[in-house]
C-alpha cells in the first residue's frame, strides 16, 4: 500500500534493524523500545491489523507467531519470559495501521498494561 510506513520497511525502502525475516514476515527492532528486547513482526503484505490477517490468511498469522518464537529464542527471552502484543484500533492504541505484533522482553513486564 502506498504511504504505509511498514510496507516501506518491508520493501527495504526505509531502513530498519531487521533481526529475522522469511518470505512473508519481517522482524525488526522498534524505534521506541519499551523493554530491552522490543521487536516488531509484520507481514510483508499489507493488512490493517492482526485480526484482518487472521481472517484473510490464518497460516500467515501463525507464521508471524512462529517467527516471534524464533526471535524470542535468538534474543534470549524465550526461557526468561516475554510478551506478544497486537494493539488493534483506536482503543487498542494502534498507531501504525499495518498489522504488527510487538515482542517485548528482557525485564519483568507489569500487568495489566495501561
Positions marked catalytic: 100
Of residues 30, 48, 57, 70, which one binds ligand DGP by CB under 6 A?
30
β-pairing, 25-29 vs 37-43, is: antiparallel
Q: Which residues contact 60 (CB under 8 A, 6 or more apart)?
A: 24, 25, 43, 45, 53
**Minimal distance in Å, beta carbon 45 to ligand DGP?**
17
Note whether 95 binds ligand DGP by CB under 6 A. Answer: yes
Note whether 32 binds ligand DGP by CB under 6 A. Answer: yes
Of residues 18, 44, 70, 87, which one binds ligand DGP by CB under 6 A?
87
Please answer whether residues 71 and 27 qualify as being in contact, where contact means their C-beta atoms are separated by less than 8 angstroms.
yes
Q: How many helices (H) and strands (E) does the chain have?
A: 3, 5
Nearer of residues 30 and 48 to ligand DGP, judged by Cβ: 30
Interface positions with ligand DGP (CB under 6 A): 5, 16, 28-32, 40, 87, 93-96
Amino acid at each position: 500500500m502506498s504511504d504505509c510506513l511498514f510496507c516501506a520497511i518491508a520493501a527495504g525502502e526505509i531502513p530498519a534493524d531487521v533481526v529475522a525475516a522469511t518470505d512473508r514476515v519481517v522482524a525488526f527492532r522498534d524505534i521506541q523500545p519499551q523493554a530491552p528486547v522490543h521487536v516488531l513482526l509484520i507481514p510483508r503484505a499489507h493488512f490493517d491489523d492482526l485480526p484482518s490477517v487472521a481472517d484473510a490468511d490464518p497460516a500467515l498469522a501463525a507464521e508471524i507467531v512462529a517467527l516471534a518464537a524464533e526471535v524470542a529464542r535468538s534474543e534470549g527471552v524465550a526461557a526468561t519470559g516475554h510478551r506478544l502484543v497486537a494493539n488493534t484500533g483506536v482503543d487498542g492504541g494502534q498507531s501504525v495501521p499495518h498489522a504488527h505484533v510487538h515482542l517485548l522482553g528482557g525485564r519483568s513486564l507489569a500487568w495489566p498494561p495501561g
